[in-house]
Structure formats: structure tokens, C-alpha cells
Amino acid sequence: MRTTVALAAAALALSAGFASAAEPNQGLKQIAAYLGVDAGAYSATELHELLAARKDGDQSTYAYLLERGDLNKDAATSAGKSQLAAQLKLDPSEYTSNELTLISEARRDGDRNAENFLLKHENRNNIYHPVPQIGRDS
């Protein structure tokens, strides 16, 4: 009996580890949310490179990495993201996982301004998230 319980506990612990390995960790999700991108579309390295490029004002690297994420967008559409998008009656390829979550929360709270802000992708506008211009001061 003890052996069965120990084996079941070990199997549960291992399966939880494998399941969580597929999901980006909370820190990467926060970086992706800050950048307005889908954490699943980028590797950890790419997210950190995006963050550094944005901070440094390196627009060519930033644009290149964003484009690569768009190429991987279909692969990044997980079952959970697709389910959430279906519940919201939205296309999962049009929104990041974070945006879908925020839209869901806005609808739940009755916050139509926040919902429309996200539905129109205004959160991706440089007015709200300025990217410094590259160049020299005159």
C-alpha cells in the first residue's frame, strides 16, 4: 500500500513538472505583457532581447524580433488560448494570451473602455508604449 501511494505521488510530481515545462513562467508572462506580445510566441531569450532592444531604442532589432514572433504566431496558439478566444468569440491569432485575459477581465468587470482599448489594439500603439528614436542628439 505504501509503495503504491509513493509511486502515485512520484508520478503526480513528475507529470506536474512536465505540464508546467510547456507553459512560460510567470516572469516571462510579465515581460510579454509589458511588451504587449504573446509569451508563447517567443523564447525566453527573444523576450529578453525584445526588452533590451526596446530599452536601448534599437528599433531594427525590435522590429526584427517582433516579425519573428508573428511568424511563430500560429505555433503559439495553444489549446488554452484557443479556448479563451472561443469563449470571447475572438480570433486567437489576432490577440496575445495576455490581451485575451485582459479582455475577459474587462468584460467581467463591465469596463467597456478597457475592452475597446484592447479590441482595437490601441495597447500596441507607440503613443502608450513609446519606443525611443535612434539617432544622435543635435
pTM of structure: 0.43
Q: Residue 41 has what pLDDT?
A: 76
Other CB atoms within 10 Å distance of the CB of residue 1: 5
Stronger pLDDT, 41 or 133, i.e. the higher one: 41
Please state, rounded to an integer, the average pLDDT across all residues of the chain.
74
Range among 32-46, 75-89, 112-126 rated most confident: 112-126
Q: Residue 37 has what pLDDT?
A: 82
Residue-range domain boundaries for the chain = 25-76, 77-125
Residue (of 102, 71, 101) closest to 83 by Cα position:
101
Q: Residue 55 has what pLDDT?
A: 86
Q: What are phi and psi of 86, to 5 degrees?
A: -65, -40
Stronger pLDDT, 76 or 88, i.e. the higher one: 88
User: Which own/partner contact pairs does 97-104 have at CB distance under 8 Å and 24+ positions apart?
Assistant: 97/29, 97/38, 97/39, 97/40, 98/29, 98/32, 98/33, 98/36, 98/38, 98/39, 99/36, 99/123
User: Is the pLDDT reported for residue 35 higher than 80?
Assistant: yes
User: Is the pLDDT reported for residue 30 higher than 60?
Assistant: yes
* Mean pLDDT across 103-129: 85
How many angstroms from the chain centroid is the CA of residue 115? 17
